């Protein structure tokens, strides 16, 4: 049976039950809708913990307005999997219990990191750094030019936080394994960072360290790309 077919049956089930808790019903319905949008052609046999984790830890972050909220989404996902198991005699929920429990802590933190970085860096870019402005205004070449001295002065990609030393952060780019240190973060973001979280960043070198020129989303540890 396909996920789309199962979702349709589940939504009909919701219409006839739990009439006194419309908020919970709407959250369940929205979660199932999002899951079906993410995996429109999947069969129930293809609902592995890895694919469901990718739905919650990456697709939900990138493709939605984060409603329902992360813990509500995960609770609803857990309830939907439990209903599938009861209805079809499967054991989907058992295989996803640890994954859902882990994401209930790490997914809200990832969204918090994204929110703080976007609010702190929304008006910043390479042109916002004093070193760049001085070089540009004096008619010289910026230290951010990629061909200066033959060294890399700008990077972009997905970076895993690998070390935290006060306000200085080390991050490792997922594809190249290149490590950048020290990487400066806004003070408001340093307090919520933890080792293992993955951030989509554009970086520029400034002196002996690195600064964030632009940021995308943050993701829970273990997210695959």
With CA atoms as reference, report the closest residue to 223 among 102, 45, 134, 116. 102
Residues 94 and 134 in one domain: no
Q: Examine the fold and report which residue of 88, 116, 144 is the final residue of a domain before the chain moves on.
A: 116
What is the reported pLDDT for 140? 35
CB 185 within 8 A of CB 198: no
Could you tell me the pLDDT band of residue 20, with boundaries at 50, 70 and 90?
low
Residues 7 and 112 in one domain: yes
CB 197 within 8 A of CB 109: yes
Q: What is the mean pLDDT of residues 33-44?
A: 96
What is the reported pLDDT for 89? 86
CB 183 within 8 A of CB 210: yes
User: Mean pLDDT, the chain, as a whole number?
Assistant: 86
Q: Based on the structure, what is the number of domains in the chain?
A: 2
225 in any annotated domain: no
Which residue segment(s) compose the domain that 29 sits in?
Answer: 3-116
Residues 11 and 104 in one domain: yes
Torsion of CA 169, 174, 179, 182, to 10 degrees: -20
Residues 149 and 192 in one domain: yes
Residues 173 and 189 in one domain: yes
Residues 100 and 134 in one domain: no
Question: What tens digit of pLDDT does each residue of 72-129 get?
Answer: 999 999 999 999 999 988 899 999 999 999 999 999 999 999 999 988 886 333 334 4
What is the reported pLDDT for 150? 53
224 in any annotated domain: no
Residues 127 and 112 in one domain: no
Backbone angles phi, psi at 114, to 5 degrees: -60, -45
Beta strands at 179-184 and 209-219: parallel, antiparallel or unpaired: parallel
Residues 127 and 201 in one domain: yes
Residues 105 and 132 in one domain: no
What's the rounded Cα separation, in Å, for the pair 203 and 126? 8
208 in any annotated domain: yes
Residues 26 and 63 in one domain: yes
Could you tell me the pLDDT band of residue 138, with boundaries at 50, 70 and 90?
very low
26 in any annotated domain: yes
How many C-beta neighbours within 10 Å does residue 55 have? 21
Query: Does position 59 have pLDDT exceeding 90, yes or no?
Result: yes
């Amino acid at each position: 049976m396909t996920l789309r077919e199962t979702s349709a049956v589940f939504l009909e089930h919701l219409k006839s039950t739990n009439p006194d808790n419309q908020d919970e019903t709407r959250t369940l319905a929205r979660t199932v809708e999002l899951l079906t949008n993410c995996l429109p052609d999947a069969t129930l046999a293809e609902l592995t913990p890895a694919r469901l984790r990718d739905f919650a830890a990456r697709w939900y972050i990138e493709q939605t307005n984060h409603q329902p909220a992360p813990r509500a989404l995960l609770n609803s996902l857990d309830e939907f999997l439990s209903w599938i198991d009861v209805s079809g005699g499967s054991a989907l929920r058992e295989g996803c219990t640890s994954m859902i429990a882990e994401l209930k802590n790490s997914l809200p933190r990832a969204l918090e990191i994204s929110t703080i970085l976007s609010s702190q860096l929304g008006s910043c870019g390479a042109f916002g750094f004093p070193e760049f402005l001085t070089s540009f205004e004096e008619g010289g070449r910026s230290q951010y030019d990629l061909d200066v001295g033959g060294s890399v002065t700008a990077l972009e990609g997905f970076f895993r936080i690998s070390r935290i030393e006060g306000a200085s952060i080390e991050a490792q780019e997922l594809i190249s394994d290149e490590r950048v240190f020290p990487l400066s973060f806004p003070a408001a973001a340093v307090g919520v960072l933890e080792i293992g979280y993955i951030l989509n960043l554009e970086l520029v070198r400034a002196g002996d360290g690195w600064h964030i020129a632009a940021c995308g989303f943050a993701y829970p540890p273990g997210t695959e790309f």
